[in-house]
Amino acid sequence: MSLKKKIRVTFLFDNSNLWLKKHITNYKFNLNKKLILKFSSNKNKVLNQDIVFPIGYTKILPNTFLHKNKNIICIHASKLPKDKGAAPVQNQILRNKKKIFISLFKATSKIDSGPIFLQDYFYLNGTELYEEIRYKQAKAVIKIMIEYLKKFPGISPIKYNKKSTYNKKRTPKDSELDINKTIKDQFNHLRINDNIKFPSFFIYKKTKYFLKIYKKK
């Protein structure tokens, strides 16, 4: 593909998981290539694109969609094939991980199982709260997409034969704290909970109490 040829790129957002949208739409994709960028939340209107990036997508895209576009490229915050599935960053933080990998791979009919093109990582120092964690993750997602776009179309996937591991989907119940444990013991648990959407809570004397955490500015 000539560098002069325009590359059609669509960012496909999931309306139930839009935290990455502001980071993507505000970023200036100033590359030495002619990109036609589109942003959509309706997969039925995404057709004949050279590249589609499903961003924060929580549903498996049907094969009909995969065949309507040339390259469906997903990003998952783990060192695939480890930590497939939901909430990879939160689950890794709960295991005291500070080096968080990002994998960019081709979408298939199986979740987080397509051939991998690129892997990178970002660091957490252990003090970040939810919004700070998301900000660092967003920067890493954009960085790996830029790397892919720079190398496209001359980029080939990486082969791997490692064993897969899976995370279960987190629910509001997973934000519950144990009143018999210390704050220090549960600090990582506090860090990964959103003060608005799924705040930490505990039950005491049959009453539910919410606990929110902020840094002093």
Residues 184, 153, single domain; the answer is no
Model confidence band, residue 131 (pLDDT cutoffs 50, 70, 90): very high
Residues 141, 205, single domain; the answer is no
Mean pLDDT calculated for residue range 46-56: 94
What CA–CA distance (Å, rounded) separates 93 from 99?
Answer: 9
Residues 176, 146, single domain; the answer is no
- Is 118 among the domain residues? yes
Residues 151, 194, single domain; the answer is no
Residues 127, 96, single domain; the answer is yes
* Count of domains for the chain: 2
Residues 127, 181, single domain; the answer is no
Residues 205, 157, single domain; the answer is no
For the chain, report the end-to-end CA distance as a whole number of angstroms. Answer: 50
Residue 150 pLDDT: 92
Amino acid at site 32: N
Residues 112, 16, single domain; the answer is yes
Domain that holds residue 181: 171-211
Residues 196, 130, single domain; the answer is no
Mean pLDDT calculated for residue range 128-144: 97
We report the CATH number of the domain holding residue 16 as: 3.40.50.170
- Is 157 among the domain residues? yes
Residue 217 pLDDT: 80
Mean pLDDT calculated for residue range 204-213: 96
CB atoms within 10 A of CB 42: 9
Residue 2 pLDDT: 47
- Is 112 among the domain residues? yes
Match 């704290």 to its residue by tokens: 177
What CA–CA distance (Å, rounded) separates 213 from 191?
Answer: 8
Q: Please state, for a pLDDT cut of 70, what percent of the chain lies above it.
A: 98
Strand, coil or helix: 30: coil
Model confidence band, residue 1 (pLDDT cutoffs 50, 70, 90): very low
CA Rg, the chain, in Å?
19
Of residues 57 and 119, the one with the higher pLDDT is 119
Residues 63, 129, single domain; the answer is yes
- Is 68 among the domain residues? yes
| Strand-strand pairing, 99-106 and 73-76 | antiparallel
Q: Which residues contact residue 3 at a Cβ distance below 8 angstroms, ignoring those fewer than 6 apart?
A: 32, 33, 34
- Is 2 among the domain residues? no
Residues 158, 178, single domain; the answer is no
- Is 216 among the domain residues? no
Residues 131, 200, single domain; the answer is no
pLDDT tens per residue across span 74-87: 999 999 999 999 99
- Could you tell me if 8 and 52 are in contact, meaning their C-beta atoms sit under 8 angstroms apart? no
- Is 1 among the domain residues? no
Mean pLDDT calculated for residue range 68-72: 93
